[in-house]
A and B are shown apart, each in its own frame.
Chain A
Amino acid sequence: MTTLLYHHPVCAEHDMGYGHPECPERLTAILDALRKPEFAELQWREAPQAEQEQLTRIHPAHYVERILDSVPESGLYALDGDTSLSPQSGEAALRAAGAFCAAVDAVMSGDANNAFCAVRPPGHHAEPHRAMGFCLFNNVAIGAAHAQAIHGLKKVAVIDFDVHHGNGTQAAFWSQPDCMYISTHQSPLYPGTGRRNERGVGNILNVPLAPYSGTAELREAWGTIIMPALNDFRPEFILISAGFDAHQMDPLAELNFTFEDYAWLTQEILDIADDCCHGRVVSGLEGGYNLQALAASAAVHVATLLKATNP
């Protein structure tokens, strides 16, 4: 058993313009780090394009159509002030969502214990009806819905440690008691959602962290709030919105997570997954905008996933 790495070259061809922080180089930096000898056991898989029925479990068909129809033949098409489509964005977005579904299939079939989707565009800001914050389709929510629809799982949890709140995932899960959404994020910060009192039907757990929070605050929140809630919920599958922009070197926020924090957090999630759901974990990339910190944080995260499968 091993860890799978889902990726596709087209995900590095989605390009929102010169200097944009959500840039192709993010993926290149991560993949370069994962080609080092210590990741020799990692099995690389091509991310397939998501099927229409996979997307429409979260997004209405007219939304999917509008996004794909808006992809320009050249240049950029702006969806909001920070989110644009380039000629390869449609296929990249389909493969980003498809990666999560394929990874869920592989883990459920026993091909691997866990998987990491090194894909972009990211997804957790994409609401069912609205692209925003660099996100087009909500990859992680699509993966969760796929796990329920195809594999007969009832309870699925998404853990989101990106520095920004995943408003899109929260919106998709809002009235779904069997889909738990847990987020640690800086507050105040974009997109302004994620207050503690946003609880859905009791399935949403927001843990806002004040600017400059780091190791101590993360571990306190995990131990006193998140772990007990996950133990109560007992998910049958865990997905991770793995953004690495809470790292202390990130330019778009002010949290102070370290590489060790990402290793620790990943191991904590794996331990819960072992206890609740045979270690089934699918993780996928969200944010992270300092290329060096991003690559090293993602490497630490994947190394921890890999260690779980090769003890």
Chain B
Amino acid sequence: MYEFLQYRVKDAMTPEPVTTTPDTPLRELEAIFEEHDFNGVPVLDDVGNLIGLVTKFDLLKAFTLTPKSIIPHYDDIMQQPASSVMLLEPLTVTPNLPLSRALQRLVEMRVKSFPVVEGERLVGIISREDVLTALRRATEHMQPGQGA
């Protein structure tokens, strides 16, 4: 585990993640989720700055029962833009944050991933899976009994 404590977010993150725009219909987002098995996709503005995050949770939320209609209609909802459901100002981390701190925050916030930003520019995404992989990588060269 000592090696893990040396890791920064940039050592474990997925760089250049798939992104989307606020105008992208939910139907296309669902196709992205289907193809890549991501849980969330960062939403960027015209100049590439992070403005939101849209997740499978947000997609599901669009189908919950609300006062607007007695039955949620699939086609109508899937035509809505990402901006209608995305989380604005998502929690982010910076590339130089110790990975142990990112792990801590993932657990405390109960989220599945954080966009990684330098200023407003997106540079990657760090997910539960990325951190689990880093934990394994940091400890796999050790002999049994040296886990601490």
Contact (Cβ within 8 A) A81 B65: no
Contacts of B68 in A (CB 8 A): 190, 192
Residue of B nearest to A132 (CB): B70
Interface majority SS (helix, strand, loop, mixed), chain B: loop
* Interface check B71, CB cutoff 8 A: yes
* B10–chain A nearest beta-carbon distance, Å: 42
Quote the shortest CB–CB distance from A229 to chain B (angstroms): 25
* Min CB–CB distance B131 → chain A (angstroms): 34
Which of chain B's residues have a CB closer than 8 A to the CB of A192? 67-68
Please, how many angstroms separate the alpha-carbon atoms of A188 and B67 in the complex? 6
Asked if A190 and B73 make an inter-chain contact with CB atoms under 8 angstroms apart, the answer reads no
Report the minimal beta-carbon distance from A25 to chain B, rounded to whole angstroms: 17
Cα A253 to Cα B70 with chains together (Å): 9
Question: Is the C-beta of A252 less than 8 angstroms from some C-beta in chain B?
Answer: yes
Q: List residues 188-203 of chain A with CB under 8 A from any CB of chain B.
A: 188-192
**Which residues of A (234-257) have their CB < 8 Å from a CB of B?**
252-254
Report chain A residues within 8 Å CB of B104.
Answer: none
Q: Which residue of B lies closest to A211 (CB)?
A: B65
Q: Which of B67, B68, B70 has the most CB of A within 10 A?
A: B70
Q: Does A275 contact B (CB under 8 A)?
A: no
Q: Which of A82, A134, A190 contacts B65 (CB 8 A)?
A: A190
Query: Number of A interface residues, CB 8 Å?
Result: 14
Complex contact B70–A134 (CB within 8 A): yes
Are A252 and B66 closer than 8 Å at their CB atoms?
Answer: no
Whether A189 lies near B65 (C-beta < 8 A) is yes
Say whether chain A's binding surface is mostly helix, strand, loop, or mixed.
loop
Q: What size tier do the contact residues of chain B reach? A: under 10
Q: Is A21 an interface residue (CB 8 A)?
A: yes
Chain A residue at smallest Cβ distance from B71 = A82
- Closest CB in chain A relative to B38 CB, distance in Å: 29
B67 and A82 contact, CB distance less than 8 A? no
In the assembled complex, how far is the CB of residue B74 from the closest CB belonging to chain A, in whole angstroms? 11
Which B residues are CB-close (under 8 A) to A81?
69, 71, 73, 76
B73 proximity list for chain A (CB < 8 A): 81
Contact mask A73-89 → B, CB, 8 Å, 1/0? 00000000110000000
B residues 80-132 near A (Cβ < 8 Å) are none
Partner of B67, one of A21, A189, A252: A189
The reply on A164 being an interface residue by CB < 8 A is yes
B2 to chain A, nearest CB (A): 47
> Which residue of chain B has its CB nearest to the CB of A254?
B65
Is A82 a contact partner of B70 (Cβ separation < 8 A)? yes
| Beta-carbon contacts under 8 Å, A13-29 to B | 21
> Are A253 and B65 in contact, with the CB atoms below 8 A?
yes
- A189, B68: Cα distance in complex, Å: 8
What are 11 residue pairs bridging A and B, where the CB atoms are less than 8 Å apart in the complex?
A81-B71, A81-B73, A82-B70, A82-B71, A134-B70, A189-B65, A189-B67, A190-B68, A190-B70, A192-B67, A253-B65
> Which residues of B are at the interface with A, using a C-beta cutoff of 8 A?
65-71, 73, 76
The 3 closest A-B pairs by CB, nearest first: A192-B67, A190-B70, A133-B70
